[in-house]
Amino acid sequence: MSLSPEARKTLAGITTATITTVLLKKGLRNVWMRGARPLRPGLPRLVGPAFTLRFVPAREDLATPESWSSPISTRTAIEAMPEGCIAVVDAMGITDAGIFGDILCARMMKRGVTALVTDGVVRDVEGTLGTNLPVWCDGYAAPPSVAGLTFVGWGEPIGCGGVAVFPNDIVVADQDGCVLIPQAMLDHVLNEGVEQERMEAWIVNEVNNGAALPGLYPMNAETKARYAASKK
């Protein structure tokens, strides 16, 4: 799935907080990925279809430095990443083995990957930051992935931060973390998210002008009428 430039631009103007509210109103409560925080403060809001990768617990006969040369390896997976995707990595929340370091992140940048999102950690943190690849993760650690994880594949459903992520679901990442939009909900979020942002901006303006919260947030009938009139 490819996102149109218009959809990317629209989603870039909708906060992850707003997206969680819009999806909550449709019954989706579990879309925010736990543990995935921006590695560098001040990253812009980024949007892209999910390219999924999965680790399982380390097994000594499989999680070896030699496995990095296997056809099923993080190196091979990176070469399959399409431009504009967000790599979403299931590391099971393990924080004492870095899934990717500076070399792998540098290659992802060269391939035009939008960002890396994981519930695990990265390594070579100074070098990783130096690649300028935007990263959302749970911190950093010196040991390599094989010290605590076994890489098993890509392009399949995963769990990241307790959220089910399917290939090509849409990921939006900002300072509040990373939110998943199921493919089937994209048009709904595009439409309702814009309206939610507009409405909340109007409410903030009312608060700044001295309005009290009861009847304003949430709106009562009178406030809804005033808001509707403001859009004409």
Give the range of the structural domain holding residue 223, as residue numbers without chain letter. Answer: 188-230
Task: Tell me what pLDDT residue 1 has.
Answer: 58
Is 169 found in the same domain as 89? Answer: yes
pTM for this model (two decimals):
0.94
Pairing assessment for the beta strands 46-57 and 86-90 based on DSSP bridges: parallel
Say if residue 125 is in the same domain as residue 198.
no
Same domain? For 41 and 114 the reply is yes
Q: How far apart are CA 55 and CA 3, in angstroms?
A: 27
Where is the domain boundary, 167, 183, 199?
183
66: burial class by Cβ within 10 Å (0-12, 13-18, 19+)?
exposed
Radius of gyration of the chain, Cα coordinates, nearest whole angstrom: 20
The pLDDT of residue 191 is above 80:
yes
Same domain, 212 and 170: no
Q: Which 3 state secondary structure label does DSSP give 212?
A: coil
Query: If you ran DSSP here, which 8-state letter would residue 76 be given?
Result: H
Same domain? 109 vs 88: yes
49 and 137 co-located in one domain:
yes
Please check the confidence at residue 21 and state whether its pLDDT lies above 80: yes
pLDDT of the residue at 2: 73
Across residues 154-164, what is the average pLDDT?
98
Distance set, CA 147 to CA 95, 106, 141, 211, 232 (Å): 11, 22, 11, 56, 61
Indicate whether 75 and 15 sit together in one domain.
Answer: yes
Shared domain for 35 and 111, answered yes or no, is yes
Q: Are residues 212 and 97 in the same domain?
A: no
**Nearest by Cα to 112 from 153, 89, 78, 155:** 78
For residues 94 and 65, the model is more confident at: 94
Residues 85 and 198 in one domain: no
pLDDT digits 0-9 by tens, 43-91: 999 999 999 999 999 999 987 888 888 999 999 999 999 999 999 999 9
Q: What residue type is 145 in one-letter code? A: S
CA distance 223 to 131: 49
SS (H, E, C) 92-149: CCCCCCECCCHHHHHHHHHCCCCEEEECCEECCHHHHHHCCCCEEECCECCCEHHHCE
CATH of the domain at 174: 3.50.30.40
Same domain, yes or no: 18 and 72 = yes
What is residue 67's predicted lDDT score, i.e. its pLDDT? Answer: 87
148 confidence band (pLDDT: 50, 70, 90): very high
Reduced 3-state DSSP string for 178-198: EEEECHHHHHHHHHHHHHHHH
Does position 146 have pLDDT exceeding 90, yes or no? yes
How many whole angstroms separate alpha carbon 174 and alpha carbon 155?
24
> What's the mean per-residue pLDDT of the chain?
96
DSSP 228: H
Q: What span, in angstroms and rounded, lies between the C-alpha atoms of 99 and 93?
A: 11
